[in-house]
Structure 1
């Protein structure tokens, strides 16, 4: 039976999803990050499917979301988008340490994934940590600097007055380069990486991830597995193909010992 446990780790609420028969074992470990304006509970279906494959999965709550809400308006939350992203990148490291130190997570089989903002967090975390042994971005962007500039432009088109001065904004945008995977692709090394993205996405444009993927394909020295699943008429919503693609990617590259369903695995590898 798959169990869902509510825990608090380093003051962060998490849902811990695990096959109850494997509760005390050291297992391949997945951290899955939710999207902007969402909450950890909204990804329980993905955690359940991973737990069925023999993974230990945690779903943390990002700051200013779910149980960590602080009464911010949507506009106030939007202005803090990149602050939340960077904060979450730092928090996942502490979460990983906690479960490894308790002997519950295999340090050689750790994956990171997320939806939308969570995919952006995942791709940024790849610039900071070498303990990520496989990663999946659902609707994420590796291009922090250009995407942030695009967001600013979109807000200005809508008549929104940003609270920062031009100089403050410039400094904040420059700071994002530290986490921008497109500016330091060597940090990805040979980590297996799967992208899923709808081509009709207007929230996190498909092109940011697609252009980076194409540049990685041109890198003759790269040996790690790399895959991009596009769906032509899909917007900002993860489909069944994206969900099962993620599950099978981790099953293949982190070696849970339970073979992926052949139909779904073929869909990832085709």
Structure 2
């Protein structure tokens, strides 16, 4: 595999997870579901993109297109699975995890198409009891329903987007600094006592990386920051209260959860000991 993952159209294989750089910061992903050896550009790729070539999310569809249309005159690249160097690569170009056999990846791609075209919608991989409606299945969402999510699920059976995860993790590094700056401002405005500043900062620093929903924390912090910039310190106070409440809920929930798990484990040990 070349260092930059570039391949020629004639070198694709059935079940390949391919991608292009559609912009400097964004990749477009797809799964090869049919290979035409006579004319590789007429091979078929399952993708999640707009049907008219626009960049409007509301026009995005899970669809099958030719390899030529998928490439859009960009260099074609193949995603690497089971890579020891994935952590040093750009997110979405290589994964440490192993992938399924190519024929299973193709079967998964056809399963998606069948559910959308002939069923009531697409079964959400992370919640098998709640299917997406036909409209939701085609509803592109940068965080939870994008082209990388679809391709990665076909290859592994798991629904994630490494591009988005890396983006959120990189941005979250600066969220703590922003939140601390807001707290400092509130202290200067005497809206919160300085005695609680250090304790509050330590709580945020210890809990923020552990939050299970980083996307919610990210969105919450951005909205709070915009409110602060617009209305000043007084306007941000309710947001700080809500954020602290969320953190307290997280701590209490985690504590109670550990108590329950440990209690069940002890009862289980006592039962088998007797």
Q: Which of the pair has the greater relative contact order for Cα pairs under 8 Å at 6+ separation?
A: 1
More helix by share: 2
More strand by share: 1
| Rg comparison, structure with higher value | 2
The verdict on a shared fold, with TM-score over 0.5 as the criterion, is no
- TM-score after normalising by structure 1: 0.25
- TM-score after normalising by structure 2: 0.25
